[in-house]
Amino acid sequence: MAATKFMEVMDGKTVFPPPIWMMRQAGRYLPEYRELRAKAGSFLDLCYNPDFAVEVTLQPIRRFHFDAAILFSDILVVPHALGRDLRFEEGRGPVLTPIEALEVSALKAGDAFHERLQPVYETVARLKNELPEDVSLIGFCGAPWTVATYMIAGHGTPDQAPGRLFGYSNPEVMDQLLDKLAVYSADYLVRQVEAGADALQIFDSWSGVLDEACFERWCVAPVAKMVKIVRERCGNVPIIGFPKGAGCFADAYRRKTGITAQGLDWTVPMEKARSLQTEGPVQGNLDPMRLRAGGAALEEGVDLILQELGQGPLVFNLGHGITPQVPVSHVEALVNRVRQAGG
């Protein structure tokens, strides 16, 4: 297979106009997604049924021919595969039974772990065969800290205070939980690569709520362990790390974790983004609200990123996921604006 634009950037090359994909590019803003979601019955059925998951992943590729497709799944399939209960409630999101400190030592990833995740691996393999040759396939998982916060609180919270309190009150248990999640999540990523994923992304959506010491201990160290395991088993597969909200802690994140490319949220200043780009590829970082607003706000945001980061290895993306209210026409406008920048 010839190198795609996305993989060229992962290799440190500058491609202009840059390759483009968007976090949550398969989602509720698309009418075809909403139709299939209603047919599936539940969100987990959508994730675990390869027929549905393949179709949902392909929907935005057909519409916009993004340069990369990302596996349609959820970061919480890992604790679900570890035997934790999980459901998704309309208007509330994921709900789990909060894990108690005494339950952490019993978490094990035996045969049942990969059996439950087998539909995900099948989805990856089928996507690899069905995607156009110029579209790369990204596998993913949640970072241990972010996954742990949901396991501890049982749901998302504004600042993940339950997870932070758990860690301060039970530091050794928190280390044990994060270590287990790092090992099991890395194994999950390895299986995705073996099934056909070209690259991987690790989402640390809640890294921005921690102080410096906890960021190092709960975000950096577990991801570094994951990257080491994946590298040992899969060689140099590109890994994108996305420590959302990390602020100044993001400066050394790539060096300390060993990731290939660094995902940037929309709060990262262009000066810092350019500095991070001198160390390797960056991905981002348009504010999703600019996409929702459209018009001049969208155009100005796109143009600034291309102007400031287009002369280095860049994957154009949002600084977080597409929101459900975004008009499809705004996504079309964004894609056209990026691709027409080359002249």
pLDDT in tens, 7-44: 999 999 999 999 999 999 999 999 999 999 999 989 99
**This prediction's pTM:** 0.97
Q: Is pLDDT larger for residue 248 or for residue 92?
A: 248
Q: Is 126:50 a contact under the CB 8 Å cutoff? A: yes
Q: What's the rounded Cα separation, in Å, for the pair 139 and 188?
A: 10
CA 232 to chain centre: 21
Cα 177 from chain centre: 21
Q: Is 29 a catalytic residue?
A: no
User: Rounded to 5 degrees, what angle do the CA atoms 164, 256, 236 make?
Assistant: 120
List, in order, residues 6 or more apart from 38 with CB less than 8 Å away: none
- What was the pLDDT predicted at 2? 57
The H-assigned helical ranges of 170-287 are: 171-195, 212-214, 221-234, 253-257, 270-277
Q: Please give the mean pLDDT across all residues of the chain.
A: 96
| Spatial distance between the Cα atoms of 184 and 244, rounded to a whole number of angstroms | 22
DSSP string across 325-339: T--HHHHHHHHHHHH
State the amino acid at position 338 in one-letter form. Answer: V
What is the 8-class DSSP label of residue 276? Answer: H
HSE value, Cβ hemisphere, 13 Å, CA-based, for 186: 19
| Residues 191, 196: Cα–Cα separation, whole Å | 9
CA-closest candidate to residue 243, choices 210, 269, 270: 210
Predicted confidence band of residue 92 (pLDDT cuts 50, 70, 90): confident
Q: 190: closest CA among 141, 241, 259?
A: 141
Cross-strand bridge partners of residue 69 = 137
Residue of 33, 48, 67, 74 with catalytic role:
74
150 is catalytic: yes
Residue among 37, 84, 164, 191 flagged as catalytic? 37
Count Cβ atoms below 10 Å from residue 62 Cβ, excluding itself: 11
Q: How far apart are CA 267 and CA 270, in angstroms?
A: 9
Point out the least confidently predicted range of 69-73, 106-110, 135-139. Answer: 106-110
Cα-trace Rg, the chain: 19
224 vs 282: CA distance, rounded Å: 18
Burial (Cβ within 10 Å: 0-12, 13-18, ≥19) of residue 295: exposed
- Do the beta carbons of residue 145 and residue 178 sit within 8 Å? yes
More confident site: 343 or 236: 236
What pLDDT shows up at residue 1?
Answer: 47
CA 31 to chain centre: 23
Alpha-carbon distance of 298 to 131, in angstroms, equals 29
Whether 190 has a pLDDT exceeding 80, the answer reads: yes
Whether 342 has a pLDDT exceeding 90, the answer reads no
Q: What is the mean pLDDT of residues 292-305?
A: 98
Q: Are residues 223 and 200 in contact, defined by beta-carbon separation less than 8 angstroms?
A: no
The catalytic residue among 24, 126, 254, 337 is 24
The predicted structure's pLDDT at residue 315:
98
Instruction: Please indicate whether residue 274 is annotated as part of the active site.
Output: no
Amino acid identity at 225: K
Phi-psi region of 318 (alpha: psi -120 to 50; beta: other; left: phi over 0): beta
Q: Which of 28, 231, 274, 339 is catalytic?
A: 28
For 312-325, write each residue's pLDDT tens digit.
999 999 999 999 99
Does residue 191 have an active-site annotation? no
CA 191, CA 203: separation in Å to the nearest integer?
17
Displacement of CA 27 from its chain's centroid (Å): 14
Which SS3 state, helix, strand or coil, does residue 311 take? coil
Q: Tell me what pLDDT residue 271 has.
A: 97
Banded model confidence at residue 294, pLDDT cuts 50, 70, 90: very high
Which of 48, 121, 150, 188 is catalytic? The answer is 150
Q: Is 28 one of the catalytic residues?
A: yes
